[in-house]
Amino acid sequence: MERQRIRPAVASDVPAVKAVTDAAYRPYVARIGVVPQPMEADHAADVAAGKVFVTDGPSGGVAGLVVVEARPDHLFLDSIAVHPDAHGGGVGRRLLRFVDAHARALGLPEVRLYTNAMMWENREIYPKYGYEVVERRVDGPYDRVHYRKRLL
């Protein structure tokens, strides 16, 4: 399979960004009892701000995306979403590697993220990619596990 490039999202990607995000997070709504925050994001504003990077699937269309924000001492990974049709194809792995490379390119020493405590699949995945738990904290209706990955 040809390696799909990861590129900054553009305005015409906004409907696909919303669709992939909704498809990726929709299964968690019933489990956590609240709509996951990425589903309520202002995707157009995030794209316009340069925070969204997408990768296209082998047959076209957005297969996955990340939403990141550079902060003074780290890169915050706000959201990662892979369309269910693209699961198992390495899209998530490529996106996580991109996040590390992007942080390094910005001169930032670590990546931080959080996930809902009820999204146990994510809690199994992130440590495999070098993330360590920093804390677990309730923020409003969200029970979140916070992670960081120090980049060497």
Q: Is the pLDDT score of 1 beyond 60? A: no
Closest CA to 47 of 81, 86, 74, 7: 7
Q: Is the pLDDT score of 105 beyond 70? A: yes
Whole-number pLDDT of residue 4: 73
Whole-number pLDDT of residue 3: 58
Whole-number pLDDT of residue 2: 46
User: 86: burial class by Cβ within 10 Å (0-12, 13-18, 19+)?
Assistant: buried
CB atoms under 10 Å from CB of 17, counted, come to 23
Q: Quote helix, strand, coil % in the chain, to nearest 5.
A: 40, 35, 30
Per-residue pLDDT tens digits for 74-87: 999 999 999 999 99
User: pLDDT over 90 for what percent of the chain?
Assistant: 86
Whole-number pLDDT of residue 79: 97
Confidence of residue 60 (pLDDT cuts 50, 70, 90): confident
**Chain centroid, CA 119 distance in Å:** 13
Closest CA to 109 of 80, 79, 75: 75
Q: What is the mean pLDDT of residues 93-97?
A: 96
Per-residue pLDDT tens digits for 125-140: 999 999 999 999 999 8
Q: State pTM to two decimals.
A: 0.94
Query: Cβ contacts of residue 93 below 8 Å, gap of 6+?
Result: 129
